[in-house]
Amino acid sequence: MSEAGGGDWEENSPERLYVITGGRSGGSAPAELDLVTLIVARSGAKPGMQPEHAAIVQLCQSPLSVAEISAYLRFPVSVVTVLLGDLLADNRIVARAPIPPARLPDRALIEAVIDGLQKL
Partner 1 sequence: MVREESSPGSGSPRSAASFVWLLPAALIAVATGVSVAMVEASARGPVAVAGGVSALVLAALGSEVARRGRVIAELRRTVTARDTALARRHAETAHLAGTLLPDAVQRLRKGEFPEDVLGSLTAPEEHQAVVRVVVDAVVAEEDLRESAQRAFVNIARRVQAIVHQQAQELRAMEDRHGHRPEVFGDLLRIDHGTALIGRLADSIAVLGGARPGRQWSRAVPLYSVLRGAMSRIIDYQRVELHSVTEVAVTGPAVEPLIHALAELLDNATRYSPPQTKVHLTAVDVQSGIAVEIEDGGVSMSEEARKRAERMLRQAQQGIDLNDLGETPRLGLAVVGRLAQAYGFQVSLRSSAYGGVRAVVVVPQELITTVAAASGLAHGIGASSVPRAAVPAASPAAPVPAQVPAPAPAERPATGPAVDAGGLPVVERTANGLPQRRRRQPLADPPQAAAAAPAASSGQASPTPAAPAPGQEPTPQVQPGMWLAAFQSGLSGEPNDASKGNSQR
Residues numbered 55-94 forming contacts with partner 1, rule: CB under 8 A: 55, 58-65, 67-68, 70-79, 81, 88-89, 91, 93-94
Question: How far is Cα 25 from Cα 28, in angstroms, rounded to an integer?
Answer: 8
Question: How far is Cα 120 from Cα 117, in angstroms, rounded to an integer?
Answer: 5
How many residues bind partner 1 (CB under 8 A)? The answer is: 80
State yes or no: residue 111 binds partner 1 (CB under 8 A).
no
Question: How far is Cα 39 from Cα 62, in angstroms, rounded to an integer?
Answer: 8
State yes or no: residue 105 binds partner 1 (CB under 8 A).
no
State yes or no: residue 2 binds partner 1 (CB under 8 A).
yes
Nearer to partner 1, 100 or 105 (CB): 100
By the 8 A CB rule, do 94 and 42 touch? yes
Partners of residue 96 on adjacent β-strands: 38
Nearer to partner 1, 99 or 108 (CB): 99
The alpha-carbon radius of gyration of the chain (Å, integer) is 22
State yes or no: residue 51 binds partner 1 (CB under 8 A).
yes
